[in-house]
Amino acid sequence: MVISSRVRLARNLAGFPFLCRASREQRTRVLDIARRRLTTTGIAERVLWVDVHRAPPLDRTLMLERHLISKEHARGVALPAQGAATDAGAAGGEPRGVAVALPDESASVMVNEEDHLRIQVVKPGLELGAAFEAANRVDDALEGECEFGTLEYAYSQRFGFLTACPTNVGTGIRVSVMLHLPALKLMGEMDKVRRATRDMGLAVRGYYGEGSEAAGEFYQVSNQTTLGKPEPAILRELEQEIVPQVIEYERASRRLLLEKRRRMLEDKVFRSLGTLRGARLLTPEEAVVLLSDVRLGVLAGLVPDIQAQTVNQLVLLTQPAHLQRVLGRELDQGERREARADFVRKVLGGN
């Protein structure tokens, strides 16, 4: 039920204004320092560096679909620089970049997103502790002396790490887990879960984070506060108390569905599978919703001839940029709908 665990640290360089007040020259310097630092300090076996503002749209979307960069970072319209050209967005946006740890892409660092640096580590399953340690290793590796001089974080003895948005001040940490909660949704319990998690100071978001809708019952649960609570407490609470509770709740809903409403559950699962196997036109949104139902069926043991891994891959590979990468050619939206349906039928054995 836990798709992945994610730890994100917000950091800014001392001696530079926050991005909302930085000139293009200052941004370029931050980018330059960060790039050199990230590609040489050994944060991973190999590091892929991308100048996001120069990357083609398809590559940016590809990174967004892989959750390596945020929607704002992909678009490049979140934080126009002071005095920036109005067509900066169209031309690729303000100078910004991302470093991706290869080969597993488990760590990435966005440069010049909302803060100068956004360190992110994602691990499959419920692995917040491991993700936190990995994020810390990157964090430690970046700060300090190196051949290019000293990289110093903006830090206050009183508040902790200083960040562009006050909600991140302090630890600068955001911890989140991506959950698949289709049974709770089917039983009409998601509102209750949302309220309960909110009361515990957590946010429930959609598949692509802030401002996005839950697609196909995939939810991101994350902490809201970064000030006044030590990192280990934030982590422990989420990993050992809250997430296990939500998981147990989802598990109980699945048991209940299987025992009391098995027919309804099967109906939902096999209608969605039948639609995926029959459709000749498919949007990415519908694909995720239908795949979410099938995933529930697979995990509940109702669909013996399909692997959960196959469904997980389809969730990613039916997204626009990935689809085009898999097929090895660029397609417009209408062509993608056809190609997506054809691809799904091929993988799931449709009519």
Question: 218 pairs with which residues across the strands?
Answer: 180
> C-beta of 261: minimal distance to a copy of itself in Å?
11
SS3 202: strand
> C-beta of 313: minimal distance to a copy of itself in Å?
21
Toward a copy of itself, which CB reaches closer, 225 or 283?
283
Toward a copy of itself, which CB reaches closer, 83 or 301?
301
Toward a copy of itself, which CB reaches closer, 117 or 282?
282
> C-beta of 319: minimal distance to a copy of itself in Å?
20
Toward a copy of itself, which CB reaches closer, 49 or 270?
270
Which residues contribute to the site for a copy of itself (CB under 8 A)? 263-264, 266-267, 270-281, 338, 341, 350-351
> C-beta of 286: minimal distance to a copy of itself in Å?
11
> C-beta of 302: minimal distance to a copy of itself in Å?
10
> C-beta of 294: minimal distance to a copy of itself in Å?
10
Toward a copy of itself, which CB reaches closer, 194 or 277?
277
Toward a copy of itself, which CB reaches closer, 20 or 264?
264
